[in-house]
Structure 1
Amino acid sequence: MSTSRESLWSIGELAERAGATVKTVRFYSDQGLLPEAARSSGGHRRYGPAALERLQLIRSLRTLDLPLNEIRRILDDEDTAAGALEDAVDSRLRELGNEVKALRWREAALRLVRDCPPTQRAGRLRLLTALGTPPSTAPLARFWRTWLPPRMPPRATAAFLDAAVPQPPDEPHPSQALAFARLHAMTTAPCPDGRQPQPEVHRVAGAGGAALLYAGLLEAFELAAPHLRRAHDPHPGEALDAYVAAYASAYRSRDTQDFRRSLAARLASEPRLDRYWELTAVVLTRPGSRPQPTPGSTDAWLRAALRRDNARAA
C-alpha cells in the first residue's frame, strides 16, 4: 500500500476534514461506498486522502438526490462513470418532473374545493378523489376501446386513441382539472344497457373497413383543424371531400351528391358524444385561450359543411 501510516485518518478525522458527521462516514463505509485504507492495531478504521475525495463526491451526488444504488454504479466503474452519472441525472429529472406535475394537480384540486360553493364541495371531492395525481388516461382509453369496432388493427386503434384521449396538462388550471375529473367520471360510469351505442358504420365496415374509415377521418380532421382555429364558417372543400371519401370507402360506395345526402341523414341519426368533446376542449385549453380543435368539434364542423354543401346542391 502506497499510503503511509502518517497520512491515514481515523473516522472522526475524516469526518472533520469532510465537514460531515461520524455517523455519515460510518454509514457510507458500512454500505461499501467508502473503503477503508487500513485498520489500526486496535481494529479501528483508517482512511486516506482518496477516501476524502470519494466522500466529497458521494455527498455531492446525494445533494442531487440520487439514490445509493445509482451512486454505487457511478463509483464502481470509472470507465463509464460519466455515462452512468448522465443516466442517473436524466432519470432523476424525469422523477422530479412527475413529482412536480403531481403537486400541480394537487394544487388545482385544492383550489377547486376551496373556491366552490359549500353545497358543491362534497360532489367535487368525490370527483377528485377518484383521480390519481397526476391522473391516468387509462380509463379514457378503455372507454374508446369499447366504442371502436372489435378486432380493429392495433395501429389504427392507437392512432385514434392519440387523437381522442387528451393528455393531462402539466400545470392545470382548476377548470382543466375539473373537466378532466368529469371526463374520468363519465368514462368510468357503467353504460345503461351494458355497452355504448355503436354507429351503424361500424357494423357495415367491419374491423378492416373501420381502420380505413378512421384513418380517413383523421386525415379530414387534420385538414379541417386550421379552419376551426381561424374560426372559419363550415364550408365545402378539401377537408369535406376527405371526410366524405372516408365514409364512402366504409360504405363501399362512391362520392356522389346522392351519397352525400344519404350520409348526412345517417350521421344525423348516429349517437354522439358531445359532452365528452366539450370536456376535452376544456382540458386542452387554458382559460382565455382560443379553444383547441378536438375530433368532436372538427367532426361537427365537417357535418355542418356537409349540410351546407347539400343545401347548395339542392
Structure 2
Amino acid sequence: MTGGAEAAPALPSLDGWRVGVIGFGLMGRPMARALAAAGAEVIVHARRASVRDIAAADGLETADSPAAVARTADVVLVIVSDTPAVESVVAGSGGLLGAVRPGHLVIDMGTTAVATTRALAARVAGAGADYVDAPVSGGQVGAEQATLSIMAGGTEAAIARARPVFQVLGTRLTHVGDVGAGQVAKAANQVVVGLTIGAVAEALTLARRAGVDPGRVRDALAGGFAESRVLAMHGRRMVEGAFTPGARATTQRKDLDQALALAEAVGVTLPATTLARDLYDRLIARGEGDLDHAALIRVLDDRVGPGR
C-alpha cells in the first residue's frame, strides 16, 4: 500500500550486499560512507578520476564507468546533479543499460524530471531490472547524519528490496506511488523550500533595513506560525552570512525550473515559483551560484555574506 510514511527502525546490516554508488559529491560521499558503515561493499563511480581517488582514499572500491559498477553490484544508486547526468549514467556510452540484468535494482536518488524518470525506468524494466525513483530531502547535513527524508516511486516489490538501503540512509520513507511519483513529491518539496527561503530572506532583510537585529527577529519568530526548518537553519546562515553550500543555489534553481516544467505539462500556473526561480537567476548572474541556496538573501541585501 502506498501513501504511508515510515519511521525507520533500528539500522539493518548490509553485510553481503554489493551496492554501487554513482556520484560522489556533497550527497553521494556521505551516503556511500553510511552504506559502507552498515556493512555493504560499496563500488563508486564518478566522472572525474580525482574524485574516484577520494573514494579510494575513503576505503571504497571504484569503477571507471556506470556499466562497470553494474557488472559487480546488484543494487546501484544514482546520485548525480541533474536530469542530463542521470540520462548519461543510465543510457549513455558506458551507461547502466549496457550491463543491467534481471535482478538488478537501480535507484535514482537525485532530482530528475518526471517524464525522463518514467522513460528511463521503462528501458531498465525492459532489461528485466527494477527501477525506483527516490529523491531525498535534508541536504548535505541529512546525508552526513543519515537522517534523510526519502520520497519513493516504484512497485511494492522494488520498494521492499530497496527498504534496507533506505533505512541506512534516512529516518523517513514515504512510498508515494508508481515510478515518477517520488519525483513529483520532490518537485513539490522544492517549491516549498524555494519559496520559504525567499520568504525568510525578505523577512530578515526587512528587519535589518528597519534597524532591528535580524538574529533577534529570527529568534522571535521561532515557536510561532512562521517557525520552520528553513527559518531555523537557513535563517541562521542568512544572519551569519555563512553560505558554504549544503545545497547549491544552482541546484535549487534547477529544481524550481524542473517543477515549473512539470506544472506546464499538467496545466498548472505557479506564479510565486516563477518569481523564486527568477530571483535565483539573478543570484547566479552575480557569480554566486555555487553558494548555498540561502544566499538568495544577497539579491535583496548586499550587506550579507561574501563581499560585504
TM-score (norm 2): 0.25
Identify the structure with the greater helix proportion: 1
Q: State the structure with more CA Rg.
A: 1
TM-score (norm 1): 0.24
